[in-house]
């Protein structure tokens, strides 16, 4: 069983409609798990220098660790992390600017 099997939106075999949720807390967990999975994919695909990619990956791991204890705080830190990652990829930095002749 893959780690994200329970995160798919497909209905269970033999049923129609969306899968049943056990509780609101599980829904929050699933939502955060989806966002963490997507963030992981963005970090893995990021075109960054090795030292910066390592720093970003460590920050992501810290957020994942926090998610084990505090969903709300982890969600807020993930929002900040994604905003910073997005800003870094949209804003030209010295690593993105070609040198002049």
**Type and span of the H or E element at 33:** helix 24-45
Length of the chain: 101
Q: Is the pLDDT of residue 19 over 60?
A: no
- Residue 26 or residue 22, greater confidence: 26
Does this model's pTM top 0.75? My answer is no
Q: Is the pLDDT of residue 23 over 90?
A: no
Q: Is the pLDDT of residue 96 over 60?
A: no
Mean pLDDT of the chain: 78
pLDDT, residue 15, reads: 53
Residue 17 region by backbone torsions, left for phi larger than 0, else alpha for psi between -120 and 50, else beta = left
Q: Is the pLDDT of residue 28 over 60?
A: yes
């Amino acid at each position: 069983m893959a780690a994200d099997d329970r995160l798919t939106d497909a209905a269970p075999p033999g049923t129609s409609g969306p899968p049943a949720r056990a509780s609101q807390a599980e829904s929050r967990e699933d939502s955060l798990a989806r966002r963490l999975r997507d963030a992981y994919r963005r970090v893995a695909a990021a075109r960054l220098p090795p030292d910066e990619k390592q720093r970003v990956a460590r920050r992501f791991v810290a957020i994942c660790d926090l998610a084990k204890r505090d969903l709300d705080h982890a969600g807020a830190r993930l929002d900040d992390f994604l905003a910073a990652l997005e800003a870094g990829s949209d804003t030209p930095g010295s690593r993105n600017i070609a040198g002049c002749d």
